[in-house]
C-alpha cells in the first residue's frame, strides 16, 4: 500500500466562463502527465479522465465554490476546493504512493470507496501488476495478495484452487463485477480459463462475506473487476514460453474506444493459447497437461444522461485440456487420461441511475452457461479387450446454466449511507457418465437473499466509521432461513494511523462443489467425492483487526499493516475415504466434523525509494479441526491439509529507466501436511519452498516505433524448484502434488500498440 501525498503546485489565474473547469494533473517527481486520472466535482455526476497530456476539462459546472475529487492509480486522492475565479489552468502535482491509496474499490462495502478509506480491509492486484507479471491467466497473479495462495491439485490436468487463509477453494466466493456467476463447474479450471486481458483489477476481501454475497463466502471473496476504457487504442501481444520438455505460445489483443460521442465507450479483448504437455520425471505421464484455449469478450458502456448508465458485457471461452499418458491416443485406449473440453458463455446487463445527490439505484441480471465433455479413467495397465472393460465408463457430459439477478439502492442521509438489496440465483447442474449409473448428478440450486447495510461516518473529517449489515437467505438445500450478520469499524486516529476491525459471518450450503467435478484418476479408476446423506450446511464466524501506518518518512513514502484474524467453522466439511462403489470407483465422502478454526497474524510493508517500490507480506497461522479427522482408514490428523503455518511474498518494482520496468518477485510457502494415497496411505509433511521470478518490460519510444512496441521477457521459478517425490506410472496418486505448478519457465513477448 502507499502513502497519499498531493501538492497543489499553483493556480494560474484566469476566469472560467460558461461553467467550464479545466487543468492538468502531473507526477510531482517526474513532471510527466498522469493519463487516466479521475477528476470529479463532488456532489454531482460531472467529471472525467485526463487525456494523454494529463489535461482534464469539465463542462456544465455550477456557479460558485466547488470541490474537486482527484485520484490516480499509483498516486493519492484529493478533495480540493476551487473558487469560481480559479477554474482555468489548474495544475495539480501528485506524489507517487506505495500502493492503492487512490484506487476505488467496491467489494468490501458494495459501494465505491477509496482503497485507503474503506472500513473493510481489502487487498488489490492492480492492472499494472497484471501487465508486469506477463501471465496469460489469473493463476499465479493471485499469489501476490497477502493471505492468499493458489495451488495446483492434480498431476494429470492441473486443477487449481484459491485458498484464503488456508481454507479450500469451496470456501471462497469468486465474483465477476460483483456477480456470483462463477459456478462450481466453472471454478474447476476457471483461474486458467479467464484471460488476463479480461481483468482491470482483482479485489480480495478476507473473512466471511455472506452478509453481502450469500453462500460460499466463508473464507472470503475474490472479485474480478473487468476492463473499462480510459483511452482509445488497440494493443496486440505475441507471447512465447518454454519449460524443459514443452513450450507455450499465444496471441492476445485488447481494443478500446473511449468517449464515442460522449455517450458511449467500449472494450473488446481476446486470446489464443497453446501449451504443450510436460513430463518432468520422464515416466511417460504428463505432469503439466496439454492446453488449447481461445477466449473473446468485451463490454459496452452507454451513458444516455449524466446521471445514468447501461453496461452490456459478455464473454466466450473454449478450452481443451488433456493429461495422462499417450496424449495423442484416444482417451479410452491409454492407461490414464484426464481430459476435458469446456465451453463457457457469460454475460450481464446492468442499469445504474442516480436520481438525486442522495439516492441512486441499480438493477442487473447476469448469467453463464458452461458445458463440458470429459474423460476420467483409463486402462490402468489392463487389457482393453477384456470383457470387464467398458470404454464408455470414463466419458461424461456436464452442463451448468446459472442466472443471477439483483436490485439495489443507496440512500445518503447526512453521515449515513443506507444500502438495501435483493438477489436471486438459480443454478442447474447435470453431470453424467456415458455408462448408465456411473457419476450421475442432477441438481438444481436456488437462493434468494435480502440484505441491508448501514454505513455511518462521524467525527472530524469522518474520523470514525461503523458499518452494520445483515443478509437473510432462503437456500434450496437448507431447511429454514439463514441469517448472516456482520459489522466493521474504522478509526482514523490521525492522517498517518488507521485502525480497522470487524466480525463477519458466512455459510456453505451442502451442495456439489468444484472439486467434486474434478475426478482424479488412480490406476485408471476414477476417485470421486459424494456428499453424506445427512450433510448439513457449514457456518463460519470471522474476526479481524488491523493497524495501518501511512506516512512519508523523509522523502520515502512508507506503508505498514499489522493485523490478526480468526475464523471459526461450525459443522466443518471434511473428506473421508469409504472404499469402492459397485462400479470400481474409489469413493470419498464429505461429512460434517465438529468444527475447525483458522487463526493467525499477517503483516505487510511497502516503501517507495525513488524509482523503486518494494512491497511484501507474510502470514503466520494455524488451521486445525477441533477434533481428529480420519483421512484414510487408520490415518488421523487434526490439521487442515495443504495449509502451511507460514507463507508470504515479496516484490520489487524498479523503473530502471524512463521506458524500462523490472519486476522481481519472491514467494515462500512453509512446510505443510499433504495426504498421499498409496498402498499404505500416509500424511506427509513436505518441506518449505521458495521461488523467484523476474520480468522486464522495455517500451521502445524512438523514431517510428514511438509508443507502439514493447518488448517483454521473464523467468518464472528461476531456481527451478519443483516437487522431487512425484508419484510415477499408471498407479500414481494424481492428487499428491504440491509446491510450484511449473519448473523454470522462460517467457518472451512483443506488445504492439496502435
Residue 114 has pLDDT above 80, yes or no: no
Q: How confident is the model at residue 569 (pLDDT cuts 50, 70, 90)?
A: very high
pLDDT at 541: 94
Task: Quote the CA–CA distance of 655 and 661 in Å, as a whole number.
Answer: 5
Q: What's the Cα-to-Cα distance from 547 to each of 144, 462, 496, rounded to whole Å?
A: 21, 17, 10
How many independent structural domains does the chain possess? 2
DSSP, collapsed to helix, strand or coil, labels residue 198 as helix
Q: For the residues 724-738, what does the mean pLDDT come to?
A: 91
- How would you label 151-184 residue by residue, b for 16+ Cβ within 10 Å and e otherwise? bbbbbbbbbbbbbbbbbbbbbbbbbbbbbbbbbb
Average pLDDT over residues 104-124: 85
Q: Which residue has the higher pLDDT, 128 or 454?
A: 454
| Rounded distance between C-alpha atoms, residue 348 and residue 181, angstroms | 10
| Residue 542: strand pairing partners | 504, 567
Q: C-alpha distances in angstroms, 466 versus 454, 494, 510?
A: 8, 17, 33
Does some domain include residue 125? no
> Beta strand pairing status for 672-676 and 660-669?
unpaired
Looking at per-residue pLDDT, the higher value among 703 and 440 belongs to: 440
Task: Evaluate if residue 702 carries a pLDDT over 70.
Answer: no
Domain containing 49 equals: 6-94
Asked if the model's pLDDT at residue 15 lies above 70, the reply is no
| CB crowding 602-624: b at 16 or more within 10 Å, else e | bbbbbbbeebebbbbbbbbbebb
- 3-state per-residue secondary structure call for 634-688: CEEEEECCCCCCEEEEEEEEEEEECCEEEEEEEEEECCEEEEECCCCCEEEEECC
Residue in this structure with the C-alpha cell 487420461, named with its chain if needed: 337
pLDDT of residue 743: 93
**Which of the four pLDDT bands, split at 50, 70 and 90, describes residue 98?**
low
| Residue 30, pLDDT score | 59
Among the candidates 94, 110, 134, a domain finishes at 94
42: domain CATH number? 2.60.40.1120
Judge if 234 and 378 occupy the same domain.
Answer: yes
Cell 445427512, residue located? 534
Q: How confident is the model at residue 268 (pLDDT cuts 50, 70, 90)?
A: very high
User: How far, in whole angstroms, is CA 155 from its chain's centroid?
Assistant: 23
Per DSSP, 231 falls in state: S
Residues 478 and 329 in one domain: yes
Is 257 a domain residue?
yes
Q: Identify the sign of the CA torsion 223, 229, 231, 234.
A: positive
DSSP one-letter code for 184: H
**Residue 93 pLDDT > 90:** no
Distance CA 515, CA 125 (A): 26
Task: Give Cβ neighbours of residue 359 (< 8 Å, ≥ 6 apart).
Answer: 409, 410, 411, 412
Residue 684 lies in a domain: yes
If residue 570 lies in a helix (H) or strand (E), which one and from where to where?
A: strand 556-570
pLDDT for 602 equals 96
Regarding predicted confidence, which is higher, 215 or 30? 215
625-631: average pLDDT: 91
Can you give the pLDDT at residue 1? 32
The CATH number assigned to the domain holding 388 equals 2.40.170.20
Give the angle 586-587-589 at the CA atoms, nearest 5°: 160
Nearest alpha-carbon partner for 540 in 235, 283, 170: 170
| pLDDT score recorded for residue 701 | 65
Number of Cβ atoms within 10 Å of the Cβ of 647? 26
29 has pLDDT over 70: no
The answer, yes or no, to whether residue 583 has pLDDT greater than 80, is: no
How many CB atoms within 10 Å of residue 150? 19
Kindly provide the b/e burial profile for residues 238-261, where b requires at least 16 CB atoms within 10 angstroms of the residue's own CB: ebebebeebebebebbbbbbbbee
Determine how many CB atoms are found less than 10 A away from the CB of residue 669: 23
Q: Mean pLDDT across the stretch 116-129?
A: 86
CA distance 612 to 495: 24
Sign of CA dihedral 634, 568, 561, 205: positive
Give how far Cα 300 sits from Cα of 45, 80, 105, 263, 320, Å.
19, 32, 21, 11, 29
Instruction: Output the average pLDDT for the chain.
Output: 87
What percentage of the chain exceeds 90 in pLDDT?
54
Per-residue confidence (pLDDT) for residue 64, from 0 to 100: 81
What is the rounded (10 degree) CA torsion for 173, 140, 291, 675?
-70
In a domain, 24, yes or no: yes
The pLDDT score that the predictor gives to residue 707 is 64
Residue pair 659/32 in contact by the 8 Å Cβ criterion: no
- In the prediction, which pLDDT does 436 show? 67
Query: 44-60 pLDDT, tens per residue?
Result: 768 777 887 888 888 88
Identify the band that residue 338 occupies on the pLDDT scale cut at 50, 70 and 90. very high
pLDDT at 4: 32
Nearest to 226 by CA among 298, 318, 280: 298
DSSP track, 243-282: ETTEEEEEEEEEEEEEEETTTEEEEEEEEEEEE--B-TT-
Residue with the larger pLDDT of the pair 599 and 556 = 599
pLDDT tens, position by position, 236-255: 999 999 998 789 999 999 99
Confidence at residue 585, expressed as pLDDT on a 0 to 100 scale: 78
C-alpha cell recorded at residue 628: 481428529
Buried (b) or exposed (e) across 430-440, using 16+ Cβ within 10 A?
ebbbbbeebbe
407 is a domain residue: yes
314 in any annotated domain: yes
DSSP labels for 442-460? EEEEEEEEEEEEEEEEESG
Q: pLDDT tens across 527-550, in order?
A: 888 889 888 899 999 999 999 998
Residue 60: its pLDDT value, please?
80
Place of cell 491509496: 101
pLDDT per position as a tens digit, 339-389: 999 999 999 999 999 999 899 999 999 999 999 999 998 888 777 777 777
Between CA 277 and CA 290 the distance in angstroms is 4
Contact yes or no for 343/315 (Cβ under 8 A) = no
Q: Domain boundary at 45, 66, 94, which?
A: 94
Is 500 exposed, middle or buried, given 0-12, 13-18 or 19+ CB atoms closer than 10 A? buried
Residue 199 forms part of a structural domain: no
* 99-108, 309-318, 510-519: the lowest-pLDDT one: 99-108
475 and 621 in a common domain: yes
Q: Decide if 318 contacts 149 (C-beta within 8 A).
A: no
Domain termination residue (choose one: 65, 94, 123): 94
pLDDT tens per residue, range 737-747: 999 989 999 99
Residue that wins the pLDDT comparison between 128 and 351:
351
Q: Give a yes or no: residue 688 inside a domain.
A: yes
Amino acid at each position: 500500500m502507499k502513502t497519499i501525498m498531493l501538492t497543489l503546485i499553483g493556480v494560474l489565474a484566469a476566469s472560467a466562463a460558461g461553467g467550464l473547469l479545466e487543468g492538468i494533473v502531473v507526477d510531482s517527481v517526474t513532471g510527466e502527465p498522469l493519463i487516466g486520472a479521475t477528476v470529479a466535482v463532488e456532489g454531482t455526476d460531472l467529471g472525467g479522465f485526463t487525456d494523454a497530456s494529463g489535461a482534464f476539462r469539465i463542462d456544465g459546472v455550477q456557479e460558485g465554490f466547488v470541490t474537486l475529487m482527484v485520484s490516480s492509480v499509483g498516486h493519492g486522492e484529493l478533495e480540493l476546493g476551487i473558487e469560481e475565479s480559479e477554474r482555468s489552468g489548474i495544475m495539480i502535482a501528485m506524489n507517487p504512493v506505495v500502493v492503492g491509496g487512490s484506487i476505488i474499490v467496491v467489494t468490501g462495502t458494495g459501494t465505491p470507496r477509496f482503497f485507503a478509506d474503506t472500513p473493510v480491509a481489502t487487498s488489490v492486484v492492480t492492472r499494472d501488476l497484471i501487465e508486469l507479471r506477463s501471465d496469460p491467466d489469473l493463476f499465479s497473479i493471485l499469489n501476490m495478495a497477502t493471505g492468499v495462495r493458489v495451488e495446483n491439485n492434480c498431476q494429470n490436468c492441473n486443477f487449481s484452487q484459491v485458498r484464503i487463509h488456508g481454507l479450500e477453494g469451496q470456501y471462497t466466493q469468486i465474483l465477476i463485477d460483483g456477480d456470483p456467476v462463477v459456478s462450481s463447474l466453472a471454478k474447476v479450471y476457471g483461474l486458467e480459463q479467464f484471460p488476463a486481458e479480461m481483468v482491470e483489477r482483482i479485489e480480495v476481501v478476507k473473512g466471511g462475506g455472506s452478509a453481502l454475497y450469500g453462500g460460499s463466502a466463508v473464507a472470503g471473496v475474490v472479485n474480478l473487476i473487468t476492463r473499462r476504457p480510459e483511452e482509445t487504442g488497440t494493443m496486440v501481444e505475441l507471447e512465447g514460453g518454454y519449460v524443459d520438455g514443452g513450450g507455450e505460445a499465444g496471441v492476445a489483443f485488447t481494443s478500446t474506444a473511449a468517449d464515442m460521442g460522449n455517450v458511449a465507450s467500449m472494450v473488446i479483448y481476446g486470446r489464443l493459447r497453446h501449451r504443450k504437455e510436460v513430463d518432468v520425471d520422464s515416466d511417460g505421464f504428463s505432469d503439466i497437461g496439454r492446453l488449447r484455449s481461445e477466449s473473446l469478450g468485451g463490454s459496452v458502456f452507454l451513458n444516455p444522461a449524466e446521471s445514468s448508465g447501461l453496461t452490456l458485457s459478455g464473454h466466450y471461452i473454449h478450452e481443451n485440456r488433456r493429461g495422462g499418458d499417450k496424449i495423442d491416443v484416444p482417451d479410452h485406449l491409454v492407461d490414464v487420461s484426464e481430459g476435458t473440453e469446456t465451453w463457457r458463455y457469460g454475460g450481464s446487463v446492468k442499469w445504474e441511475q442516480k436520481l438525486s445527490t442522495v439516492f441512486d439505484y441499480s438493477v442487473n441480471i447476469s448469467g453463464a452457461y458452461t458445458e463440458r465433455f470429459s474423460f476420467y479413467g483409463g486402462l490402468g495397465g489392463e487389457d482393453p479387450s477384456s470383457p470387464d472393460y467398458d470404454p464408455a465408463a470414463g466419458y461424461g457430459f456436464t452442463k451448468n446454466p446459472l442466472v443471477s439477478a439483483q436490485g439495489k439502492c443507496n440512500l445518503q442521509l447526512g453521515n449515513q449511507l443506507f444500502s438495501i438489496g435483493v438477489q436471486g440465483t438459480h443454478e442447474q447442474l447435470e453431470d453424467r457418465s456415458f455408462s448408465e449409473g456411473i457419476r450421475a448428478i442432477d441438481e438444481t440450486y436456488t437462493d434468494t437473499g435480502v440484505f441491508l447495510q448501514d454505513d455511518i461516518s462521524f467525527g472530524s473529517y469522518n474520523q470514525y466509521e461503523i458499518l452494520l449489515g445483515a443478509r437473510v437467505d432462503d437456500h434450496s438445500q437448507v431447511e429454514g432461513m439463514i441469517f448472516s450478520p456482520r459489522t466493521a469499524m474504522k478509526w482514523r486516529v490521525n492522517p498517518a494511523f488507521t485502525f480497522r476491525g470487524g466480525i463477519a459471518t458466512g455459510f456453505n450450503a451442502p451442495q456439489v462443489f468444484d472439486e467434486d467435478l474434478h475426478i482424479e484418476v488412480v490406476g485408471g479408476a476414477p476417485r470421486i467425492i459424494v456428499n453424506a446423506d445427512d450433510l448439513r450446511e457449514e457456518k463460519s464466524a470471522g474476526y479481524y483487526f488491523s493497524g495501518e501506518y501511512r506516512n512519508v518518512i523523509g522523502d520515502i513514502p512508507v506503508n505498514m499493516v499489522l493485523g490478526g484474524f480468526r475464523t471459526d467453522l461450525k459443522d466443518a466439511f471434511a473428506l473421508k475415504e469409504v472404499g469402492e462403489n459397485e462400479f470400481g470407483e474409489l469413493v470419498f465422502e464429505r461429512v460434517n466434523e465438529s468444527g475447525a478454526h483458522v487463526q493467525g497474524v499477517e503483516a505487510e510493508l511497502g516503501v517507495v525509494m525513488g524509482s523503486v517500490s518494494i512491497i511484501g507480506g507474510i502470514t503466520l497461522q494455524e488451521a486445525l479441526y477441533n477434533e481428529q479427522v480420519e483421512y484414510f482408514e487408520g490415518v488421523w490428523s487434526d490439521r487442515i491439509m495443504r495449509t502451511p503455518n507460514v507463507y508470504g511474498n515479496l516484490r520489487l518494482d524498479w523503473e530502471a529507466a524512463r521506458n524500462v520496468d523490472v519486476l522481481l518477485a519472491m514467494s515462500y510457502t512453509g512446510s505443510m501436511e499433504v495426504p498421499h494415497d498409496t498402498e499404505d496411505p500416509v500424511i506427509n509433511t513436505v518441506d518449505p519452498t521458495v521461488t523467484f521470478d523476474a520480468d522486464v518490460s522495455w517500451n521502445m519510444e524512438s523514431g517510428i516505433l514511438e509508443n507502439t512496441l514493447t518488448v517483454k521477457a521473464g523467468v518464472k521459478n528461476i531456481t527451478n524448484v519443483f516437487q522431487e517425490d512425484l508419484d510415477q506410472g499408471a498407479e500414481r496418486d494424481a492428487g499428491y502434488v504440491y509446491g510450484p505448478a511449473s519448473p523454470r519457465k522462460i517467457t518472451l513477448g512483443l506488445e504492439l500498440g496502435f
